[in-house]
Structure 1
Amino acid sequence: MIEYFLTLIILAMKMKIIDAPGKNSRYLHEKSKLIGRTQNACLYGIALQSGDGNHITDVDGNRYLDFLSGAASNTIGYGRRDVVEAYAKTAMRLQHSCYMYTLNKEAIELAEKLIDITPGDFEKKVLFDLSGSSSIDGAIKVARKFTGKKGIITFKNSEHGSTSLSIQASTLSNLTGLFLDDGFYHVTFPTKEEEIVDILAKIKSLFRQGIAAILIEPIQGDAGVIVPPKNFFKDLYYLSKENGVLFIVDEIQTCAGRTGRWWGIENFDVVPDIVICGKGISGGYAPISAVIGEEKMIDSLEKAQHLFTYGGHPPSCAATKKVLDIIEKEKLMENALQIGKLLESELKQLKNCNVVKDFRGIGLMLGLDVASENLAGIAGMRCIEYGLYPGYYGKYNEVLRLQPPLTLTEVEALWAARIIKKVIDEMENKEIPNSTIEKYKKYSRGGICSTCSINSGFEETLVKHNAI
């Protein structure tokens, strides 16, 4: 009852406009040019100071409800003393042991937990890494070593990472011939049932090239939350099994309960040979990732063929194990499903607007697809001014990225939905302030899409789609 009345009060409150980025953020935005541009795809020009619960505060004291979660990493919100203590106590006792040479129990306990929650009744092993990208490399090395074949089939508009092999598996990045070799094949990722037959036929035709594995995201993340037809995964899985091809799933964005299950692939009733996880498994408290797969596949790699000095880092493993325990104990997967359905019920009506194409996703991995290039970035900047911090991505920055912590409450979800509906209404009625658009153009270093530059056709695109 109290939460009901609190909801009514919050929804009745007048929305305040935040002047962001503020003075301190603008200063740091300028100083950030010290960091190479390849790592500096700034969304809004905002620098963060702190976080608590499901909110973040910037260096100017502006407070936002977080709907980006550090790129789907901060799964259990901010300021979790229990996770910090798990890390700190381990670090005080033993800050590091290079696992290749010296065992530690934290790495073994985390491996046990990951194996326990990973689907498949076969014997499994784990390879620890520091990032999703390097784990993609590890999985590809395993596939090639185990099968004795080189070919890897991935999907168009996929984003698997930026290391030597993961960047070749991706097509969303801007690559040159310097990064590519002849071992990768990219096919269309289906969005409709009627596409499946032709896509499977194309994949089957590639098997004669000597294919080691199929690598796929359960839901394409950076492409804009693209959910494939449900039957596609089963058909693809059986095709791979019939032809001795490994089935590898990139769960870097979809792991740790984001879709309401431990793994995104569990929504499609398929058991992969190998899964890759990262981002959310540590809740943002430690840089860690892992490859989990069938024992005989993982152990096809010989000693020192995939290792890192900080792989199996004791404090990171302790913190990650704690995060996974919290997700389970606090029923955050159930919450992700429940709150995701609430957001869907509030936002799916926006598909009737001229400036919205689609609303899609599973659990708390959601995307609002707006009409054209850069409009999601402008919508994001306007949300910022109302106190909501979403992301935006997609091939043309056309999808508003909605990936809050799994701890999001019903009241917070309704508040966020109210802001998003307000912003879309402003777009629909050409009421987005010019100052908002100018800020997006000025501070979004990585946001202006390649086909719609600021200096050529940008305003025309916005006018065409009723944004201004």
Structure 2
Amino acid sequence: MTATEDLIASAEAHSAHNYHPLPVVVASAEGAWMTDVEGRRYLDMLAGYSALNFGHGNQRLIEAAKEQLGRVTLTSRAFHHDRFAEFCARLARLCGKEMVLPMNTGAEAVETAVKTARKWGYRVKGVPEGRARIVVAANNFHGRTTTIVSFSTDPEARADYGPYTPGFDIVPFGDLGALRDAVTEDTVAVLIEPIQGEAGVLVPPPGYLQGVRELTRERGVLFVADEIQSGLGRTGRTFACEHEDVVPDVYLLGKALGGGVVPVSAVVADAEVLGVFRPGEHGSTFGGNPLACAVALEVVAMLETGEFQQRATELGEHLHAELGLLAGSGKVVAVRGRGLWAGVDIDPSHGTGREISEKLMERGVLVKDTHGSTIRIAPPLVISKEDLDWGLDQLRSVLG
């Protein structure tokens, strides 16, 4: 038995089977490349679902973490620490907002947004107690908590976890008419992903986000944009909403905010929204800890230069042009996405998404399938054009 086989067998024996990973065991990584326990290198074309926008082992982020590790890593919010104020101020400025509520994971940010919207609805909008409702989109993916899966339409994510949390109305993604019909006097928020990642990198029709913004403003409802996967440079802009010149009331951030080093998430909004909280009403032991703030501050500094957004724009145009040629050849049914982010629907005659992912793994490229025939391509924004082209060459070879 090889080292890979031995480690996979041990993992299968001693861990819950809530994931179905590709049969590769990563031991080290740098930039856009990962190396397994047997020394074989793989081009990472997934980037931890956008958590690794700045690549593996980014030296600026590693140095920021090391420096903070030698000082203080955790205080809890029982005390102030010397990185917190700067982190909140810089992130708020990046978002064009006034306040930040830091958490750890993306799901925690979404849960916090649900609580924020409901509390805002009762205290500011004047919705009668217990009647607040939030409109969400079908095929969404916002996390895995009990409340979040209550408004999922994915049977795998939702089945067997009831009873489900009430208070959510589901409408088709991209359908402004359905959204308008769903908003009532009790609606406190519209919660959507500007681009639906897990669903297969679904980009809404032109004007949709602008329509959501206009409708929510007109009806006195919060527009909450889940930019956890789409934000922080991935699409060629700091936020995917910027492609339609839209500024939501609330940004939800995560994944890349932690630089692939530590989990960091945040809810970012103006004081009218986040000002509804009082001490003791919401919290997190690790939320906004010194180590997280130090790393996230460096992430914000890197984004402030615009360098990574520009790379995602330029390389993204090249990526989509090349994938478009595959679609024109009939080997690929459809390609969607923005920047360095693409959902690729494979012609079923070439295999399932899982089978294509496994074949690419054998050729040294790592992607991940979703919803049967779709593979997602989302390399670190630091990938070179040469490496990107090599990865695309492997996809062409797999598809014959």
Identify whether the pair has TM-score above 0.5, normalized to the shorter chain.
yes
Name the SS of the counterpart of 1:165 in structure 2: helix
Is 1:24 matched up with 2:24?
A: no
TM-score by length of 2: 0.92
Cα offsets for 1:75-105 (capped at 9, x unmatched): 1112223322211221211121112x11112
Letter matched to residue 32 of structure 1: A
How far 1:179 sits from its partner (Å)? 4.5
Would you say the 8 A contact 2:191–2:225 is kept in 1? yes
When Rg is computed on C-alpha atoms for both structures, the one with the higher figure is 1
- The residue correspondences of 1:290-439 to structure 2 (distance < 5 A) are 290-329=266-305, 331-372=307-348, 375-393=352-370, 396-425=371-400
Question: CA 1:362–1:189 in structure 2 vs 1: closer, same or farther (change >3 Å)?
Answer: same
Runs of 5+ unmatched residues, structure 1:
1-21, 191-198, 426-468
Query: Which among 218, 225, 228 is matched to residue 249 of structure 1?
Result: 225
Provide the residue aligned with 1:37 in structure 2.
17
Q: CA RMSD in A?
A: 1.8
Provide the residue aligned with 1:159 in structure 2.
141
C-alpha distance in 2 between matches for 1:219 and 1:80: 26
Provide the residue aligned with 1:131 in structure 2.
105
Query: Which among 179, 182, 185 is matched to residue 166 of structure 2?
Result: 182
C-alpha distance in 2 between matches for 1:260 and 1:242: 29
Letter matched to residue 398 of structure 1: S
Query: Which among 107, 112, 116 is matched to residue 142 of structure 1?
Result: 116
Runs of 5+ unmatched residues, structure 2:
none
Letter matched to residue 251 of structure 1: E
Is 1:273 matched up with 2:249?
A: yes
C-alpha distance in 2 between matches for 1:255 and 1:208: 29
Provide the residue aligned with 2:153 in structure 1.
171
Provide the residue aligned with 1:113 in structure 2.
90
Name the SS of the counterpart of 2:184 in structure 1: helix
Would you say the 8 A contact 1:160–1:169 is kept in 2? no
Would you say the 8 A contact 2:150–2:166 is kept in 1? no
How far 1:25 sits from its partner (Å)? 2.2
Provide the residue aligned with 1:98 in structure 2.
76
C-alpha distance in 2 between matches for 1:381 and 1:333: 30
Question: CA 1:246–1:417 in structure 2 vs 1: closer, same or farther (change >3 Å)?
Answer: same
Provide the residue aligned with 1:220 in structure 2.
196
Letter matched to residue 257 of structure 1: G
Letter matched to residue 401 of structure 1: R
How far 1:206 sits from its partner (Å)? 2.3
Q: How many residues align?
A: 388
Provide the residue aligned with 2:36 in structure 1.
58
Would you say the 8 A contact 1:224–1:401 is kept in 2? yes
Name the SS of the counterpart of 1:284 in structure 2: coil
How far 1:413 sits from its partner (Å)? 1.3
After TM superposition, the structure 1 stretch with the greater mean CA deviation from structure 2, 304-313 or 371-380, is: 371-380
Name the SS of the counterpart of 1:311 in structure 2: coil
Would you say the 8 A contact 1:354–1:371 is kept in 2? yes
After TM superposition, the structure 1 stretch with the greater mean CA deviation from structure 2, 272-281 or 52-61, is: 52-61
Cα offsets for 1:110-167 (capped at 9, x unmatched): 1112111114xxx521111110001000011111001124211111110000123322
Would you say the 8 A contact 1:86–1:322 is kept in 2? yes
How far 1:43 sits from its partner (Å)? 2.8
Provide the residue aligned with 1:452 in structure 2.
none
Q: Give the share of equivalent positions with the same residue, in percent.
A: 29
C-alpha distance in 1 between matches for 2:15 and 2:83: 34
C-alpha distance in 2 between matches for 1:307 and 1:417: 44
C-alpha distance in 2 between matches for 1:232 and 1:103: 41
Letter matched to residue 422 of structure 1: S
Provide the residue aligned with 1:13 in structure 2.
none
Letter matched to residue 294 of structure 1: D
Query: Which among 78, 87, 90 is matched to residue 65 of structure 2?
Result: 87
C-alpha distance in 2 between matches for 1:143 and 1:165: 14
Letter matched to residue 295 of structure 1: A
Would you say the 8 A contact 2:136–2:190 is kept in 1? yes
C-alpha distance in 1 between matches for 2:299 and 2:210: 31
Would you say the 8 A contact 1:367–1:402 is kept in 2? yes
C-alpha distance in 1 between matches for 2:279 and 2:149: 25
Cα offsets for 1:292-340 (capped at 9, x unmatched): 0111111112222221111111012101211232344471110011111
Would you say the 8 A contact 2:190–2:221 is kept in 1? yes
Letter matched to residue 403 of structure 1: A
Letter matched to residue 147 of structure 1: G
C-alpha distance in 2 between matches for 1:330 and 1:156: 33
Name the SS of the counterpart of 1:317 in structure 2: helix
TM-score by length of 1: 0.79
Question: CA 1:209–1:164 in structure 2 vs 1: closer, same or farther (change >3 Å)?
Answer: farther
